[in-house]
Amino acid sequence: MMTVTDIDRTIDGVAKTIAEVLEKKKYLIDYYQREYKWESKQIAELVADLTAKFLDLYEADHARKDVAKYPGYYLGSIIISQKGSQPFVVDGQQRLTSLTLFLTYLRRLQQGRDEVVNIDELIYSERFGEKSFNLDVPDRNDCMEALFELGEYEPPSDAAESVHTLVARYAELDGLFPDELKEAALPFFIDWLKDRVQLVQITAYSDDDAYAIFETMNDRGLKLTPADMLKGYLLANMEDGKPRTKANELWRKRLRSLDEQAEDASSDFLKTWLRSQYSTKIRERRKGARPEDWDRIGTEFHRWLRGAHDSVGLKARDDFYHFVVRDLDFYSHHYARILDASTGPFQPDSPLRFIRFNADLGFTLQNQLLLAPLRVDDNSAAIDRKLELVGRFTDILLARRIWNFRATAYSTMQYAMFTVMRDIRGLSEPDLAKLLRDYLFKVDESFDYDGLYVHQQNRSQLHKILARITDHITVKSGHASNYIELTNGAKVKYEVEHIWADRPERHTDDFSHEADFARHRNRIGDLLLLPKQFNASYNDETYAQKRPRYFSQNLLAASLDPQAYEKNPGFLAFVKNSGLPFRAHEEFKAADIVERGNLYRDIAKQLWNPDDLTAVTANEVP
């Protein structure tokens, strides 16, 4: 039996380069922390942080050997539990996974070049002819292999959450990595990343010690974070005594409360708040462009504020005091409301419901837009109307982009959303409504496009679009909202399903080639949201067999069957009042798919109507 004296209580802590941490290494991750959960904003900030630091050092006339003289850059710490010969990651797997994805992207970016930095062994190692990735998680291996060899992967529908997240984050890397680093500077950047960027690796030789270190560093706040450094700077510039004590207590209370709501929420809040109220420029999309204040706030907000305190209005001791007890208190309170609206219990009648719709699409850039027009002297009603206006605007913009096959990823949208954020800062409700409405009428995307179809990459987004359309019909027909059931139902899993079975031989009168049949079958008019078990039971049936079964499902599906138009007063009143061209379909041919697609498009135009923005300020939204 092992005793306390048998356990190696040694704890090592050493700064290691990325190459030293990853090269020819193999780490396991305990089953209870295997999910990879980084969102778009986090991978974007990692890439922005690294590339901005490198660009501050690199000059076009440097030789590669000069990179060895570049200052080292500290990227954080990881905690390892060494169990015999096998290291387990206790803290840091999100960062290590993201670095592995980034290295995989950089490896593929080098293909075909004369000058290549070999980084294969930072991604995987090979023993006895067997390849294994440095982070060895079995349910990720097929995905990582495909990304390594091909640069793309289509996850099966039953793939783990981490696999879908890995694919999504990898797809964003090319848009995040600056164009000026994709040419001559690329090998320099890779050299710097692998040999000058460092992590502090803390290694314990028992799980108990490893987790004790983790808890000490996080729960007891022994890591000096950018938030800590910012607080120290602000407090140091206040009057000693009661003002400083009050500001310190409020800071701790508000930021601790945010972190209890969501992981890293306090740091995210500080970046979002400072960007929403004070950033005036973002890095231009051109070669050689340097990071501006929006970018710097994302990577070093504590340093940025030190240098920008005058422009922020921090001049006298009272300014620093009110910056915390008035401004931080106000914006953190409403940031907490935004977080709650994003992930908390769904309230279908709340003016903040649009925040949830946007959050379910993974659009975290909305948070800075939401804070931008708020002013500390706004009353609660004005604040809610502003939040509703921005939420509705973002909802309409995202729906239009999805309808037109336009990307909604963080990297694609950050520049445009920065300009909107800057332009709406501090606006009154009428001015805010007008600006946002005018913006939507100027953009190219609309619902006039009639070629929307489902494919592997947009299936999740179309699920949300169909959920909104279905829920709109449900609510307008006098029933309770079913949005959560359709998108996040715990008991019944809904999926995007085709009305037509995948049987081209049934449609030879409309199509002479199977490819034409497949393209038509994937159009929006052939799609419904149905319970997974429904599809498993009836998927291969003919339309005539399935149509009566649709009547027992949601109203969008039921509207295909004649029974929906009998003794259904709420739905019939909605059809009459909306003027939408609903009708039952006795049969479902190629022309019916087009007709249903036009119906969905007409619903979308009513559901996502820019004129609703100006109606909000008059309390006239239907």
pLDDT tens profile 192-223: 999 999 988 888 766 666 666 655 555 444 45
**Beta carbons of 531 and 522 less than 8 angstroms apart:** no
User: Residue 139: its pLDDT value, please?
Assistant: 83
Residue indicated by tokens 């592997």? 456
Mean pLDDT of 343-359: 95
Residue 491: both structure tokens together: 């008991």
* SS3 at position 201: strand
pLDDT tens profile 222-270: 456 788 889 989 998 998 889 999 999 999 999 999 999 988 899 999 9
Does 567 score more than 50 pLDDT?
yes
From CA 270, how far away is CA 273, in angstroms rounded?
5
User: Residue 396: its pLDDT value, please?
Assistant: 98
- Per-residue three-class SS string for 527-572: EEEEEHHHHHHHCCCCHHHHHHHHCCCCHHHHCCCHHHHCCCHHHH
Largest CA-CA distance found in the chain, in angstroms, rounded: 85
pLDDT tens profile 293-307: 999 998 889 999 999
From CA 569, how far away is CA 333, in angstroms rounded?
43
User: Residue 611: its pLDDT value, please?
Assistant: 94
User: Residue 217: its pLDDT value, please?
Assistant: 55
Range of weakest confidence among 102-111, 137-146, 434-443: 137-146
Report CA dihedral (11, 12, 13, 17) to the nearest 10 degrees.
-150
Higher-confidence residue: 439 or 76? 439
Helices (H), 443-540: 459-476, 483-488, 514-521, 532-538
